[in-house]
Amino acid sequence: MDPYRPRIGERIERIETPAVVVDLDTMEQNVDSFVSFAQDHDVTLRSHAKTHKNAALARMQDRRTNGGIICQTLEEVEYMAENGLDDIYLTHMIVNDSKLRRLVQLSQELSVFQTTVDGRGNVDPLQEITAELDEIVSVVLEVDLGLERVGVGSIDDARELAAHIRSCSHLELVGVMGFEGHINAEVSSETEYERRCREAMDNLERYVNALRDDGHTITDVKVGSTGTSKHSGRHPVVTEINPGMYPFNDANLLHWAGPVTKDDCALTVLTTVVSEPTRDRVIVDAGSKTMSFDVDQMPVPADRSDLEYYDYSEEHGFASTADASDVTVGDRLSFIPPHVCTTINLHDRFYGVRDGRIEEVYDVGARGALR
Ligand SMILES: Cc1ncc(COP(=O)(O)O)c(C=O)c1O
């Protein structure tokens, strides 16, 4: 038993810092808001569980939306499947022989399993193993909507690949996916958000229509990040939105032009001031081994306006304080981290709190599940 692990029901003051803390009331409001959006716009909400890598939260999301979950790695799928999730979409390409055998096993075990392809390089090895093991696997064809990461980049390429998939005895094309997450960082107003998402979805619709004209049954049209889902999900071509960070939000989402405010940020990093070397600088016990700095934002103080987190080393966070600030050694300060997914991934567990008490301890169960 871990002596430092506070128990359910104890006050949050018992949590040693640095620690990741989730305000459950805010998280539930955020989930409610996306569930209502999906209901109102007749789209499926399938939540990306890579954000928290925790099975209890994934089960809660699946129950709320009845839409299944998403994973980014095969090992994440295995962890979620072992913990009771049975409708999982894998948004990554798998090509290695031993991993493809694990993929087939998951496809056999789960009620719904779908994986992603974008070229013959990942379709052909999948066909080879699924034929050998005699399992029909559902595939989703990814289209590049401008992120320039993965995905086919032209309608002709999509038609050629879909025709190739049709010739594969053990693959069934069930849908198309486009991730328009690059739009988040490229817009400066709600109107622009709306316009760019509508254009991206119009573009995706052209792909879907071309494939349907060729006789493919494209049942699922999957899109969306936390920032874009509520715009893209209004487009008639979309059947499913795939946000990940929406239960929590973060400093990046605060910075982008979307409707997120500090009050919507459910997840914070609780820190302690350990030093006050000068009148205008305090040091907290949370640097880059506690919060991830893989995006351009700095942590944002959750409930104070008299300090600014401006730099970090591994275990130190540097905050400048205003003249009138009374922040001093021993104070506990909460920060909204720059990027929630990669911050959770640095921790073994995080705490769900309500009314000042610990209500849940969430293990980051699929932490390190990268293969
Ligand atoms: C393919 C795909 N879909 C959905 C998401 C979820 O987006 P977000 O984490 O911004 O909510 C991601 C995140 O990177 C992704 O890569």
Report the distance separating Cα 98 and Cα 103, nearest Å: 9
Instruction: Tell me the per-residue pLDDT of 53-62, one tens digit each, with 9 for 90 and over.
Output: 999 999 999 9
Is there an atom of ligand 1 within 6 Å of 45 CB?
no
How confident is residue 1, by pLDDT bands cut at 50, 70 and 90? low
Residue 226 Cβ contacting ligand 1 at under 6 Å: yes
Whole-number pLDDT of residue 11? 96
How does DSSP classify residue 152?
B
Q: How confident is the model at residue 371 (pLDDT cuts 50, 70, 90)?
A: very high
Query: What are the DSSP calls for 4-35, one per residue?
Result: T-PPTTSBGGGSPSSEEEEEHHHHHHHHHHHH
Q: Would you state the structure tokens that stand for residue 371, as one six-digit string?
A: 């293969």
Mean pLDDT in residue range 123-151: 98
**Peptide bond before 18: cis, by omega within 30 degrees of 0?**
yes
Residues 207-253: pLDDT tens digits? 999 999 999 999 999 999 999 999 999 999 999 999 999 999 999 99
The CB of 6 under 6 Å from ligand 1? The reply is no
The DSSP secondary structure of 208-268, one letter per residue, reads HHHHHHTT----EEEE--TTTHHHHTTSTT--EE--SSTTT--HHHHHSSSS--GGG--EE
Position 300 scores a pLDDT of: 98
Instruction: Name beta bridge partners: 353.
Output: 23, 358
State which ligand 1 atom lies nearest to the alpha carbon of 179: 1
Q: How many A from CA of 242 to the centre of ligand 1?
A: 7
Residue 258: the pLDDT is 81
pLDDT, tens only, 351-368: 999 999 999 999 999 999
User: What is the Cα–Cα distance from 24 to 30, expressed in whole angstroms?
Assistant: 10
